[in-house]
Amino acid sequence: MTDTTTEKAAATAPTGAVGAAPEPAPAPRTARLRRGATPWLFLLAPLALLLTFTYAPIANMVAYSFTDWDGVSPELHYTGAENYAELFTRSDLFEVFWVSGYYLAASVFQIVAALYFATILSFNVRFRNFFKGVLFFPYLINGVAIGMVFLYFFQDGGTLDAVLGLFGVETDRAWLGTPESANTSLAAVSVWRYLGLNFVLFLGAIQSIPGELYEAAELDGAGRWHQFRYIIAPGIKPVLSLTVILSISGSLSVFEIPYIMTGGATGTETFVIQTVKLAFQFNKTGLASAAAVVLLLIVLAVTWVQRRLVPDDKVDLA
Amino acid sequence: MNRRTVLAMVTGALLLSACTGTGGSSQGAEAKAADDPSKVSGTITVLTHRTDLVQDGTMAKYATEFNKTYPKVKVEFDAITDYEGEVKIRMNTENYGDVLMIPAVIEKKDYPKFFASLGTQAERSKKYRFTDYTTVDGKVYGQSPLGAVPGFIYNKKVWQEAGITDWPTTPAGFLDDLKAIKSKTDAIPYYTNFKDMWPLTQWTDVNGSVSCDEQATTRLAEGDPWADGADLRTADTLLYDIVREGLVEKDPTTTNWEASKPRIAKGEIATMWLGSWAVIQMQGAAKQAGADPDDIGFMPFPAQKNGTFCAVAKPDYNQAVNIHSEHKEAARAWIDWFTDKSGYAADNLALSPLKEAPLPDVLKPYEEQGVKILDLDDALGAEVKSIDNQSEIGIYKPDYRQDLVDLARGATKGSLDDFLNGLGEKWTETQKSLGS
């Protein structure tokens, strides 16, 4: 349920640090010029990549959102804000966001579970590295493969039914058969897949907390729960809020798993699947671009609201 | 405004203008047939969706055959798995092979911008089927190398076991037959292929078979496809009833197309709505599974007009010449040879694009039963497509039929009449707004 956009943000991070270097005594003009240009030369490659592969396509998409382009025709007409007007006057296009509710609920469960496992495995537990691997492994599998695997898993008489049968439970239900059941099943797959990522983020944050703190806490007579409540929880707050943002934006833009497993049938269509269908089935590339822009704005707005509600203040454990 | 914002805005503006620029188009070129085959020369690239035929060397054999007549032309094949998706994007450039199958997404009115004309319709329609599917302003832009006839693939043995000897002639009769299969055999009477989606879209090919009308496509463009008694309503109602009566597989959401082939061959599945093109695949699956290929039968949609069945001939992908090709003569030579002389249609047990050619073996039962084969008038085919896209109904897309199946098996609530009337309303409203 998360995205990998973080690495793009990391690429631009060094800019501030380099630009802020204090100027020494005035040097000859060429030397000064060279010194000024050096950081930019270093930045040339990452910036070129960033512009070509992130900002240019986005600019392109924004441009298309104001046209009636069908995706192939050499002709396109500027239609102004018509696509946006259509998007906001057709309620059926936004109804699909209800489906995101399933994934949102699932991501709450996912964060709690990841936090639980990360906390437990940060203490000295037997086979902890093995369990770390087990939890993280699903995240390494390609999304398409996961879709295929779980299709067999949920099949009539498939893995799930067989396993339940071992315990004497004969459900005889079509797991992807009704909208509720299908969405719940798909959200569960999503939890299975992304739990590992959240878990690793939490584990990393927990392990960056200095060990003396635990020792001191133990000397003061704090138990595991108190250690979690007063040391770990405040210590990982920034990572926690990052995870929440990623989960919300992830829930709004679910795509891979439902697209491969059900193709959006039986009430499992998400906003992104709908956008893809508009663009590539009904050749409304203009409208689909507008939908994508709107989704981007919604995710930005949610992030902004979340940052206002839970400000990212500096944590000081000492 | 500081320097950075200005810079950012300038960059943004540059990107906007640079990325949406459209190339110029050279409209109206013609790919003429050469008089002397030995003088045609050049290397041509043929884009094809038949990755299987390129891999097993069948296409190379065709090329060798072709070189006996046209020794100076070198043919190269570019097999593309995701044909539609990939070629659509390549067609934004000039580099999309010399010969290609026209992707379904290209609008008819844009054909003259992308493809070189093969001649006038008046002249070509004398010899070839399917010319009006690619005709714009009297000129033909593509030619399908084979045709197919939609129909039910069924396992003869299973149907016989259920005591059925004759093809059903009405939808009600068809339902009764499926019920008999359910009660008398272990087979699944009908398999929806719901999960793989595209087999559901094939139901749209019923259009024309019920009314036995060559103007069926025109009536889609001008009327309500879901009006009482209309072809698509009849087809959708039958599909709804089949699912409603529980005559399908237990869990449609996890069906598997590849696995369905040996299953119908072995008689685990009794019937599927596909087309004559599928017969060869099912027979192949039968051979692999150790079943009898002759058990695979083919029957028309259960509806008769004046006592005869009607079936529609549908083209496959149409082959066309890239308007930017440097070897248009060679490309044209390939299309002509592939259509007329390659034997491609016969190899695939398919309907030949040549009007005078006899029916393939697969359709022999049709000949015996006097099934009328219709060539639909596709003059308004482009209008139908644009209504379909604009209304987002998707009669050539799987979505609305998946909804129909969900409705029929009770996964979603509502009545069939409301559902179909709603589609009809959406369709006719879009018709009006498009002003056709």
Check CB contact under 8 Å for B253 and A177: yes
Check CB contact under 8 Å for A72 and B110: yes
Within-domain flag for B179: yes
* Contacts A55 to B, Cβ<8 Å: 11, 15
Name which of A249, A246, A253, A236 is nearest A312 in CA terms. Answer: A236
Bridge partners, B42 (sequence order): B73
Within-domain flag for B302: yes
B182 alpha carbon, distance to own chain's centre: 30
Round to whole Å and give the CA distance between B406 and B412. Answer: 6
* Contacts B19 to A, Cβ<8 Å: 56, 59-60, 63
B161 and B142 both lie in a single domain? no
Searching chain B, which residue's CA lies closest to the CA of residue A64?
B20
Range of B37's domain? 29-146+317-364
B interface with A, Cβ–Cβ below 8 Å? 11-12, 15-16, 19-20, 22-23, 25, 85, 88, 91-92, 103, 105-107, 110, 113, 194-195, 197, 249-254, 389-390, 392, 394, 397-399, 402-403, 406, 409, 411-412
Nearest to A59 among B15, B106, B412 (CB): B15
| Boundary of a domain, candidates B329, B364, B399 | B364
Round to whole Å and give the CA distance between A288 and B390. Answer: 13
The pLDDT, as a whole number, for residue B109 is 84
The alpha carbon of residue A94 is apart from the nearest alpha carbon of chain B, in Å, by 15
Distances, alpha carbon B23 to alpha carbons A76, A144, B141, in Å: 12, 35, 21
B240 and B95 both lie in a single domain? no
The complex's ipTM works out to 0.76
The pLDDT, as a whole number, for residue B300 is 94
Residues 6+ apart with CB under 8 A from B223: B230
* Contacts A62 to B, Cβ<8 Å: 16
E strand spans, B291-423: 296-299, 304-305, 308-315, 319-322, 372-375
B328 and B386 both lie in a single domain? no
| Interface test mutation site (partner A, options B253, B255, B412, max chain A beta carbons within 10 A) | B253
The pLDDT, as a whole number, for residue B239 is 95
Distances, alpha carbon A26 to alpha carbons A33, B64, B102, B142, B154, in Å: 11, 76, 67, 72, 89
The pLDDT, as a whole number, for residue A312 is 64
**Tokens in use for A83?**
């696509």
Within-domain flag for B77: yes
B258 and B322 both lie in a single domain? no
**Domain boundaries in chain A?**
28-89, 92-309
* Contacts A93 to B, Cβ<8 Å: none
Q: Tokens 């032309």 correspond to what residue? A: B73
pTM score, whole prediction: 0.81
Within-domain flag for B369: no
Cβ of A213 under 8 Å from any chain B Cβ? no
DSSP H helices, chain A, are 6-12, 14-19, 29-50, 56-64, 82-89, 92-95, 97-122, 128-140, 143-154, 159-166, 179-207, 211-219, 224-227, 233-235, 237-252, 256-261, 271-280, 285-309
Round to whole Å and give the CA distance between B278 and B257. Answer: 12
Nearest to A56 among B19, B22, B403 (CB): B19
**Selected residues 235-264 of chain A with any CB under 8 Å from a CB in chain B:** 262-264
Pairing relationship of beta strands B115-116 and B147-148 according to DSSP bridges? unpaired
The alpha carbon of residue B181 is apart from the nearest alpha carbon of chain A, in Å, by 22
B162 and B305 both lie in a single domain? yes
Mean pLDDT of B387-403: 90
> How does residue A7 score in pLDDT terms, banded at 50, 70 and 90?
very low
Question: Phi and psi for A71 in degrees, rounded to 5?
Answer: 100, -20
Within-domain flag for B58: yes
B157 and B303 both lie in a single domain? yes
The pLDDT, as a whole number, for residue B225 is 92
Classify B307 in phi/psi space as left (phi over 0), alpha (psi -120 to 50) or beta.
left
B416-430 tens-digit pLDDT: 999 999 999 999 999
**Tokens in use for A61?**
């998409």
B341-356 tens-digit pLDDT: 888 988 888 889 998 8
Cβ of A51 under 8 Å from any chain B Cβ? yes
pLDDT tops 90 at residue B189: yes
pLDDT tops 70 at residue A213: yes
Classify A266 in phi/psi space as left (phi over 0), alpha (psi -120 to 50) or beta.
left
B397 and B417 both lie in a single domain? yes
Q: Tell the CATH topology of A92-309.
A: MetI-like fold (1.10.3720)
B407 and B303 both lie in a single domain? yes
B188 and B203 both lie in a single domain? yes
B293 and B323 both lie in a single domain? no
Mean pLDDT of chain B: 88
3-state SS, residue B154: strand
> How does residue A14 score in pLDDT terms, banded at 50, 70 and 90?
very low
B338 and B229 both lie in a single domain? no
Within-domain flag for B264: yes
Q: Look up the CATH number of the domain holding residue B276.
A: 3.40.190.10
Searching chain A, which residue's CA lies closest to the CA of residue B21?
A74
**A303-308 contacts, C-beta under 8 A, 24 or more apart:** A303/A245, A303/A248, A303/A249, A306/A241, A306/A244, A306/A245, A306/A248, A307/A241
Task: Give the whole-number percent of chain A exceeding pLDDT 90.
Answer: 37
Q: Tokens 């309500």 correspond to what residue? A: B224
B265 and B391 both lie in a single domain? yes
Within-domain flag for B159: yes
DSSP H helices, B374-415, are 381-391, 399-408
3-state SS, residue B116: strand
> How does residue A316 score in pLDDT terms, banded at 50, 70 and 90?
low
Classify A263 in phi/psi space as left (phi over 0), alpha (psi -120 to 50) or beta.
left
Name the strand (E) or helix (H) holding B120.
Answer: strand B119-120
Domain count, chain B: 2
Pairing relationship of beta strands B139-140 and B135-136 according to DSSP bridges? antiparallel
* Contacts A262 to B, Cβ<8 Å: 195, 253
CB-neighbour burial class of residue B25 (10 A; exposed 0-12, middle 13-18, buried 19+): middle
The pLDDT, as a whole number, for residue A225 is 86
Within-domain flag for B2: no
Other beta carbons within 10 angstroms of residue A74's beta carbon come to 15
